[in-house]
A and B are shown apart, each in its own frame.
Chain A
Amino acid sequence: MDLLSNLALGFGVASSLANLAFCLIGVLLGTLIGVLPGIGATATIAMLLPITFQLEPVSSLIMLAGIYYGAQYGGSTTAILINMPGESSSAVTAIDGYQMARKGRAGTALATAALGSFFAGSVATFLVAIFAPPLTTIALKFGAAEYFSLMVMGLVMSVALAHGSVLKALAMVVLGLLLGMVGTDVYTGAPRFTMGMNQFADGLNFVAVAVGVFGIAEILRNLEDEHDRQVMTKNITRLFPNREEFRQMVGPVLRGTGIGSVLGILPGGGAILASFASYTIEKKVSKNPGEFGKGALAGVAGPESANNAGAQTSFIPLLTLGIPANPVMALMIGAMIIQGIVPGPNVVTEQPALFWGIIASMWIGNLMLVVLNLPLIGLWVKLLTVPYYVLFPIIMAMCSIGVYSVNSNPYDLFAVAFFGLLGYIMSKLRCEPAPLLLGFVLGPLLEENLRRAMILSRGDPTTFVTRPISATLLLMSLAILVLVFLPQIRKRRDEVFTESDA
């Protein structure tokens, strides 16, 4: 069977000594930054991106992917032990996980999170392997109009899945698109919005924007009020769940995996939305919903499985269409482009070793995480006692090195400071940064495909609605927009998000 030989190829690539090492480095780094609150996967990958340019394309993508799903594991440890999400996707885990820790079941909660994540990760990796190739054959039929409509749908989804005001998220997307216009126009070579500085002729540096909006803004938010953390370390006694607890886990883990796999594919949400949705559903189907918020095992097992499944399946749109589902995937696109790989449906056929190698490495990485995390839990917990005021100067040093090493342009560092301030002000005004970054990445692609489609159709804008795939995608975008503005849905959406903020 084709799938088997492909997987064999993938495992062959991923299990070379060098790639195993980079996978290990990736998941260790991921766990580390996942455990430490105040530094997210997006900012870390943005900072490390330039350093991976020296590596082979496969190795660098394997490592970056490892950081991403490693952070999902690490985030749950912090959530359970100090009631503070190390990663935003673990926010829900904190609700019941921390209560379990207070009742002396920290070990069980940690093990549940790790095992659930491993199961979900394995299943979702398999799904990526099955569904990615057929999707690419569809994607190969895409013309400029279809790509334009697909990107519109991606941006609309990111708006629908953002926290808070839909209007503000829309505005952030448009702002991101505008920032993406900075640089030289591809068709005419005219400089745009560079304000006479030819350092910006190649556009704003993507790493600088990402580090500024996510990394620096996050540090500034954390510095608003500094307070001590309380670590629940003394309670880790028994790690492995007993048979009864295993029985309780099965349902939530299976449901979480399903929800996560589906939601991960959708652009904009990925892991974060998946964990929120899973928690809501577990609460609905539970026989005693009163347990939730007081240390329900299902409240840890479901969301943790869901966020890990979502983290894996969000690679599907990236690998098949070259469209990022979330900011981390946008960074992966950046990494591929700089490595000379054009993301999109051609990756499977032209770079089978890369494609299947990444997929196989995800499974290996998940296995490493489960093996590493349970015995090493004590070490990660110790890390939590490192005070924040020691961490952020280190982060700032890494930011500066990382951004500068992209193309040794000092202006990129000025851009970091500028976007740090902009990101901080925007977060103070309760505007989400994720839609902005997606808009920024997709902006140039969106414009190029729009202009190309218009030339091909000789200026007839109906090309977007007369081509069936394009029309379907646009209709779906419209439906999503109408849905989020409908009063009832809006109320539900607010509920989901407030519940997770509690």
Chain B
Amino acid sequence: MSTKPKDGTDIAAGLLFMAIAAFFAWQGLGLEMGTSIRMGPGYFPMVLSAILFLLGAVILFKAFGRPDDEPIGRFAWRGILFILPAPIFFGLTVRGLGFVPALFFTTLIASQASVRMRPLPALILAIVVTIMSTLIFSYGLGLPFRRFGPWLPL
């Protein structure tokens, strides 16, 4: 326990909002502001950035002198490590490898996010999901995916 109480969660939230606002304002600098009669593309975003920055500052300011009512808790590091790459992998490979292999590996990667998943069940699950999805989406609904892509020697 530190001597001065402060709400760590709100400090982080306030700083994050301020950083995002600053980023949008910086990106919006090159856009034409226009006048309030004919607003340019930069007008409304700049107003919003200013409001967001102010709100972030108020959240930050109010976080001091008040204890954290609820600690931030654990982070799902393993989840972040495996869940987030799954759609990225799918996006990178769905055209090259094709729908079937891309989906198979995507499911396999995602399944590793849980400590409880054993290798063999993960493999079976990925196979079942791939077969079912191919049947439903590719054959059943006729979505225009290439089942096997040009990267494969087929």
Q: B-contacting residues of A (Cβ < 8 Å)?
A: 51, 54, 165, 167-168, 170-171, 174-175, 177-178, 181, 185, 187-188, 190, 192-193, 195, 216, 219-221, 223-226, 387-390, 392-394, 396-401, 403-405, 408, 410-414, 416-417, 420-421, 424-425, 428-431, 447, 450-451, 454-455, 458-459, 461
* Whole-angstrom CA separation of A84 from B36 in the bound complex: 51
A sample of 6 more A-B contacts (CB under 8 A), given A175-B52, A224-B76, A396-B106, is A168-B13, A174-B48, A220-B83, A396-B87, A424-B76, A459-B36
For residue B110, give the distance in angstroms from its CB to the closest CB of chain A. 4
Q: For window 109-126 of chain B, which residues contact chain A by CB distance below 8 Å?
A: 110-111, 113-117, 121-122, 125-126
Contact between A421 and B84, CB atoms less than 8 A apart? yes
Contact between B133 and A397, CB atoms less than 8 A apart? yes
Contacts of A424 in B (CB 8 A): 76, 80
* Whole-angstrom CA separation of A187 from B56 in the bound complex: 30
Interface-central residue, A174, A447, A451, by most chain B CB under 10 Å: A174
Contact between A400 and B114, CB atoms less than 8 A apart? no
Contacts of A394 in B (CB 8 A): 107, 125, 129
Knowing A167-B55, A171-B55, A428-B75, say if A181 contacts B45 (CB, 8 Å).
Answer: yes
Any A CB within 8 A of the CB of B137: yes
Contact between A175 and B86, CB atoms less than 8 A apart? no
For residue A420, give the distance in angstroms from its CB to the closest CB of chain B. 6
Knowing A175-B20, A177-B48, say if A219 contacts B83 (CB, 8 Å).
Answer: yes
* Whole-angstrom CA separation of A394 from B128 in the bound complex: 10
For residue B71, give the distance in angstroms from its CB to the closest CB of chain A. 11
Contact between A387 and B116, CB atoms less than 8 A apart? yes
* Whole-angstrom CA separation of A226 from B58 in the bound complex: 36
Number of interface residues of B (CB under 8 A): 76
* Whole-angstrom CA separation of A225 from B95 in the bound complex: 35
B interface majority secondary structure: helix
Contact between B76 and A190, CB atoms less than 8 A apart? no
Q: Mark B31-61, 1 if CB is under 8 A from A, else 0.
A: 1100111111110110011011001101100
Residue of A nearest to B104 (CB): A397
For residue B126, give the distance in angstroms from its CB to the closest CB of chain A. 7
Contacts of A224 in B (CB 8 A): 73-76, 79
Partner of B94, one of A220, A396, A398, A404: A404
Contact between A219 and B27, CB atoms less than 8 A apart? no
Residue of B nearest to A195 (CB): B27
Contact between B37 and A400, CB atoms less than 8 A apart? no
Any A CB within 8 A of the CB of B65: no
Residue of B nearest to A429 (CB): B13
Knowing A396-B87, A428-B73, A451-B44, say if A389 contacts B117 (CB, 8 Å).
Answer: yes
Q: A-contacting residues of B (Cβ < 8 Å)?
A: 9-10, 12-13, 16-17, 20-21, 24, 27-28, 31-32, 35-42, 44-45, 48-49, 51-52, 55-56, 58-59, 62, 70, 72-76, 78-80, 83-88, 90-92, 94-95, 103, 106-108, 110-111, 113-117, 121-122, 125-126, 129-130, 133, 137, 141-145
Contacts of B108 in A (CB 8 A): 393
Contact between A429 and B9, CB atoms less than 8 A apart? yes
Contact between A413 and B87, CB atoms less than 8 A apart? yes
For residue B69, give the distance in angstroms from its CB to the closest CB of chain A. 9
Knowing A221-B76, A223-B114, A425-B16, say if A414 contacts B37 (CB, 8 Å).
Answer: no
> Which 7 A/B pairs are nearest by Cβ-Cβ distance?
A459-B37, A413-B91, A410-B91, A223-B79, A185-B41, A396-B110, A389-B114
For residue A304, give the distance in angstroms from its CB to the closest CB of chain B. 29
* Whole-angstrom CA separation of A177 from B113 in the bound complex: 32
Knowing A219-B83, A417-B87, say if A188 contacts B59 (CB, 8 Å).
Answer: no
* Whole-angstrom CA separation of A167 from B60 in the bound complex: 11
Contact between A429 and B44, CB atoms less than 8 A apart? no
Contact between B45 and A413, CB atoms less than 8 A apart? no
Contacts of A403 in B (CB 8 A): 87
Interface-central residue, B9, B21, B35, B41, by most chain A CB under 10 Å: B41
Interface-central residue, A220, A226, A414, by most chain B CB under 10 Å: A220
Interface-central residue, B73, B110, B137, by most chain A CB under 10 Å: B110
For residue B102, give the distance in angstroms from its CB to the closest CB of chain A. 8
Contacts of A390 in B (CB 8 A): 121, 125
* Whole-angstrom CA separation of A171 from B62 in the bound complex: 14
Contact between B83 and A451, CB atoms less than 8 A apart? no
